[in-house]
Amino acid sequence: MNKKREILKAEVREILGRKVRKLRREGWLPASVYGKGFKSVSLKLKEKEVNKLFNELGTTTLFDVDLNDKKIPVLFKNPQYHPVSDKLIHIDLYKVDLSHKIVAEIPIELIGESTAVKGGGVLVPIADTVEVEALPVDLPEKIEIDISKLEKIGDILTIADLEWKDDKVSMVSDSEQAIVKVEEEKEEVVEVAEETTEELVDGEKKKENKEEQTEEKETKKD
């Protein structure tokens, strides 16, 4: 957690509103930096650099934005995407106070193997993040939960099962909040197969009736 922070260069953005489309065509990404006691500033960032860094850090890892040779500790926040292309079109940078704790959502990563799933159960994720409180420099990138504890159908893991031992990070989420569970596999395919079988049987019966009727007619003719 004390590793050197990444640095992202930024420039003050004077183009606002619909005119930012021109910036995007030129390879810039519109952004804003803000925070408690910090006046919001409109920025433009190199799109390729932002995409690379955002994919690496997500919204929980601290980095510095370099604005006019001044480094500001920030977190990525509120990414906005194009509804069709799914490209990142705007992002916020939240300026943090390194001496004050903040509440943040941390991604949950499932590890291990469940005997219940191996036995035919279906793993059903319920929550993919957990809220924690910590100093910005102490925020974890992710929190792991071992699904090997899921031994039978119906078993559920909650926040209480995380077994978190980092004294610098405290849980905010309710300890009873469910994270993942194992359910029985639905037998939709079997039901369809049964319906198909019934249809075949009905079809055979109709065919037999028709054949019987035909035989009767032929007998009368003879």
Same domain as 119, residue 155? yes
Which residue range is the domain that position 222 belongs to?
189-222
Same-domain check for residues 19 and 89 = yes
pLDDT at 186: 78
The residue with tokens 């009767």 is 216
pTM across the whole model: 0.70
Whether residue 200 is found in the same domain as residue 167: no
Reported confidence tier of residue 162, pLDDT bands at 50, 70, 90: confident
Per-residue three-class SS string for 63-120: EEEEECCEEEEEEEEEEEECCCCCCEEEEEEEECCCCCCEEEEEEEEEECCCHHHHCC
Is 91 part of a structural domain of the chain?
A: yes
Specify if 199 maps to a domain.
yes
| 156-158, strands of its sheet edge to edge | 122-125, 178-183, 156-158
Same domain? 178 vs 193 = no
Identify the domain boundary among 61, 79, 96. 96
Q: Quick one: pLDDT band at residue 156, thresholds 50, 70, 90? A: very high
89 and 18 in one domain?
A: yes
Q: Is residue 1 part of a domain?
A: no
Q: Let me know if residue 2 belongs to a domain.
A: no
Q: Are 89 and 17 found together in one domain?
A: yes
Same domain, 83 and 12: yes
Mean pLDDT value across the chain = 85
Give the mean model confidence (pLDDT) for residues 140-152.
92
For 38, 60, 76, the CA distances from 29, given in Å and listed in that order, are 21, 20, 13
pLDDT-based confidence at residue 195 (cuts at 50, 70, 90): low
How many domains is the chain partitioned into structurally? Answer: 3
Q: Residue 218 falls within a domain, yes or no?
A: yes
> Which amino acid is located at 185 in the chain?
E
- Tell me the percentage of the chain whose pLDDT exceeds 70: 82
Per-residue pLDDT tens digits for 24-36? 999 999 999 999 8
110 with 92, same domain: the answer is no
pLDDT number for residue 128: 93
> Sorting pLDDT into bands at 50, 70 and 90, what band is 2?
low
